[in-house]
């Protein structure tokens, strides 16, 4: 039997995903002539701005060129979530052209100082132009993927600008310091990068792996998956653990014993920040990035698997909004039980 759920739009909690773009819809799409942020000694260090951007290595000097191209959706930050070059210096009057690669889903270009703001584009070859007329500095982002590190800077003129320790920086493990997702993974000592598992229909995260002072880690701590992927958390430690994202509304039981499993199937595009409620403050936390990342669309369906037997968590739930389609989802219960007994 197929069950279809409907949930009123005004009951759907989209605050986490909407906050990524709130406040960024400012200024005009016609940025030419607006004043840039003056480059000064107090504002020229870009290390903090680029702290979680892994594809910025240098300030590329393109002065003397009448037109400069920047690729939107270049390789970086766990996928195609970069600007290339991420940091570039140009002359006043230079036409800057952002060209979409068609990779990484939907992107836009938004100046932090309000000087320019493009529409959202997805197709390869689409462009947006801005011609600065004054010297200064424009820091900009892709609004949906800012927290993943999709950031850039346009330096106009000869002002002194420093990337600080950003270019070529690394952690003690030899890997560049990773995005902490607003501090969510700041205490998670087994996390140093996002593990790209796109292309897999089912992925497994270990529960109770070594880390954070004992067997108190999810491994890998941060994963990037496609919409429709089932994430299975499998207990490998001997303590009592659970998997909980209160904001999205899914939570396993607090269980002890190796081999217990809990699964969530994610659909749409979005971000889930979860933890073990017993050891989260100790650093036992994780992140699931789904599809294009923090868009206001994410809907998990939960089930618990214990000893190879699937138990659906009550009725299926809808936690996201399928924009331009409907606010409903459906699943075949028999198929869930059949699939849940594998492995």
CATH number of the domain that 91 lies in? 2.60.40.420
Helices marked H in 3-103: 15-18
Which of 156, 182, 203 lies at the terminal end of a domain, its last residue? 156
Position 122 in a domain: yes
Separate counts of helices (H) and strands (E) for the chain: 2, 24
Same domain, yes or no, for 126 and 238?
Answer: no
* Beta carbons within 10 angstroms of residue 332's beta carbon: 12
Same domain, yes or no, for 223 and 284?
Answer: yes
Pairing of strands 261-275, 297-306: antiparallel
Position 166 in a domain: no
Position 180 in a domain: no
Same domain, yes or no, for 129 and 234?
Answer: no
Tokens of 4: 């279809």
54 prior amide bond cis, ω within 30: no
Same domain, yes or no, for 213 and 278?
Answer: yes
Q: Total structural domains in the chain?
A: 2
- Is 340 a residue whose pLDDT tops 80? no
Position 167 in a domain: no
> Hey, CA dihedral for 166, 172, 176, 177, is it positive or negative?
negative
**What is the predicted pLDDT for the residue at 266?**
84
Position 6 in a domain: no
% helix, strand, coil for the chain, step of 5 = 5, 40, 55
Using CB atoms within 10 Å of the CB of residue 307, give its burial: 0 to 12 exposed, 13 to 18 middle, 19+ buried: exposed
Position 172 in a domain: no
Same domain, yes or no, for 201 and 91?
Answer: no
Q: Is the pTM of this model over 0.85?
A: no
Same domain, yes or no, for 202 and 325?
Answer: yes
- Is 71 a residue whose pLDDT tops 60? yes
Same domain, yes or no, for 213 and 107?
Answer: no
Show the domain range for 278: 195-340
Position 202 in a domain: yes
pLDDT tens-digit series, residues 228-263: 888 999 999 999 999 999 888 888 999 998 999 999
Using CB atoms within 10 Å of the CB of residue 14, give its burial: 0 to 12 exposed, 13 to 18 middle, 19+ buried: middle
């Amino acid at each position: 039997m197929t069950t279809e759920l409907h949930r009123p739009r005004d009951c759907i909690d989209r605050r986490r995903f909407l906050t990524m773009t709130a406040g960024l819809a400012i200024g005009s799409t016609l940025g030419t002539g607006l004043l840039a942020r003056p480059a000064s000694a107090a504002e020229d260090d870009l290390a903090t701005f680029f702290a979680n951007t892994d594809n910025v290595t240098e300030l590329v000097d393109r002065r003397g060129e009448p037109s400069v191209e920047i690729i939107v959706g270049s390789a970086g930050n766990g996928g195609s979530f970069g600007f290339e070059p991420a940091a570039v210096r140009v002359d006043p009057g230079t036409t800057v052209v952002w060209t979409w690669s068609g990779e990484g889903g939907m992107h836009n270009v938004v100046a932090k100082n309000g000087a320019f703001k493009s529409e959202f584009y997805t197709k390869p070859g689409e462009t947006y132009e801005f011609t600065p007329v004054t010297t200064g500095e424009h820091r900009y982002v892709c609004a949906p993927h800012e927290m993943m590190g999709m950031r850039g800077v346009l330096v106009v003129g000869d002002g002194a600008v420093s990337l600080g320790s950003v270019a070529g920086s690394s952690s003690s493990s030899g890997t560049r310091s990773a995005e902490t997702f607003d501090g969510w993974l700041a205490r998670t000592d087994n996390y140093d990068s996002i593990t790209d598992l796109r292309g897999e229909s089912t992925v497994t995260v270990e529960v109770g792996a070594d880390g954070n002072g004992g067997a108190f880690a999810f491994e890998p701590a941060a994963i990037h998956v496609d919409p429709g992927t089932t994430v299975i958390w499998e207990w490998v430690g001997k303590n009592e653990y659970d998997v909980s994202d209160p904001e999205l509304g899914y939570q396993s039981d607090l269980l002890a014993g190796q081999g217990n499993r809990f699964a969530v199937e994610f659909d749409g595009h979005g971000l889930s920040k979860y933890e073990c409620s017993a050891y989260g403050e100790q650093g036992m936390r994780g992140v699931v990035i789904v599809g294009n990342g923090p868009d206001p669309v994410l809907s998990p369906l939960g089930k618990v698997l214990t000893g190879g037997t699937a138990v659906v968590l009550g009725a299926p739930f809808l936690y996201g909004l399928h924009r331009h389609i409907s606010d409903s989802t459906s699943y075949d219960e028999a198929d869930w039980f059949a699939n849940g007994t594998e492995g």
